[in-house]
Amino acid sequence: MFDFIDIDWGNLLVEAGIIAAQVIGILIAFAIVRAIGKKLINRSFDRLTKKGDVTNGRALTLRSLSENVFSYALVFVLVATLFNIFGLSVASLIAGAGIVGLAIGFGAQGLVSDVVTGFFLLLEKQIDVNDYVTVGAIDGVVESVGLRTTQIRSFDGTLNFIPNRDITTVSNHSRGNMRALVDIGVSYDENIDEAMAVLKTVCEKVAKDNAAVVEGPDVIGVQAFGASDVTLRIIAKAKSGEQWGVERELRKSIKEALDAHDIEIPFPHQVTIHKGLENPVQS
């Protein structure tokens, strides 16, 4: 029968205290090394960005990935060290991991696919942090690119976590300049040449005042004949992500200029007929 009296409680407490001190020391060292490592990684990529060796978006992408890899490696070292402190063999940890890996191998195919796809996304520079992209039915700005998932912030604020294996087609709208397009309708009663001349004046002013405009804006001409208007089209090239602002400024300036020259922009009219009245009432 086990006798508690024969236990050397003093020696046991000393050993427990030593182990506890070692564990606390290892955890403190882990926190310090992790903080220093992340700081060094941040400094390295800040230096590369300042030198112009990589773009800011690329630096943010690689920085996030480097921090993740560093953290995973550090956690493995921490676990292995704790195994040694408790008298467990690191070899048994690796062997156990191998057995577990075989057991879940078939179920981990998706994870492997995520990692492989994430690797090629980074290697081929398909997307970077702060890029405006379309992935499937999701539009938004890339916030993070990892080995397993990619995070895209939609314009309504939704943060989408997309497994990398689901990223089969990527449309990157941040590579090169973007098109700004504005269609404006004028009445059939108006002089088209006069309307186009007014629009050209507006385009020249916007091109001069808006630094986001790279090329144009140009009045292309008559685009279509509508039910009540003639559609004129204006096209410009703008810096990536600035095309919507250029379009909004063009629309505002066009409206003001057409009003100033008494050029009508058609809009629906409602005619109300009251029975018993001689003349209809327009509104």
Is residue 283's pLDDT more than 70?
Answer: no
Pinpoint the residues of the chain covered by CATH 1.10.287.1260.
Answer: 9-104
* Tens digit of each residue's pLDDT (9 = 90 or more) over 206-237: 999 888 898 889 999 999 898 888 999 999 99
| pLDDT of res. 106 | 52
Is residue 280's pLDDT more than 90?
Answer: no
**CATH label, 178-260, candidates 3.90.1640.20, 3.20.20.370, 2.40.50.140, 3.30.70.100:** 3.30.70.100
Is residue 175's pLDDT more than 90?
Answer: no
| pLDDT of res. 5 | 56
Is residue 164's pLDDT more than 60?
Answer: yes
Is residue 254's pLDDT more than 90?
Answer: yes
Pinpoint the residues of the chain covered by CATH 3.30.70.100.
Answer: 178-260
Q: What is the pTM of this model?
A: 0.56
| pLDDT of res. 107 | 53
CATH number of 9-104: 1.10.287.1260
Give the 3-state secondary structure of the chain.
CCCHHHCCHHHHHHHHHHHHHHHHHHHHHHHHHHHHHHHHHHHHHHHHHHHCCCCHHHHHHHHHHHHHHHHHHHHHHHHHHHHHHCCCCHHHHHHHHHHHHHHHCHHHHHHHHHHHHHHHHHHCCCCCCCCEEEECCEEEEEEEECCCEEEEECCCCCEEEEEHHHCCCEEECCCCCEEEEEEEEEECCCCHHHHHHHHHHHHHHHHHHCCCEEEEEEEEEEEEECCCEEEEEEEEEECCCCHHHHHHHHHHHHHHHHHHCCCCCCCCCCEECCCCCCCCEEC
* Tens digit of each residue's pLDDT (9 = 90 or more) over 71-101: 878 888 888 787 777 776 666 656 555 555 5
| pLDDT of res. 252 | 94
* Tens digit of each residue's pLDDT (9 = 90 or more) over 96-145: 555 555 445 555 566 667 777 777 777 777 888 888 899 988 999 988 88
- Asked: is 113-172 a CATH 1.10.3210.10 domain? The reply is no
Pinpoint the residues of the chain covered by CATH 2.30.30.60.
Answer: 113-172
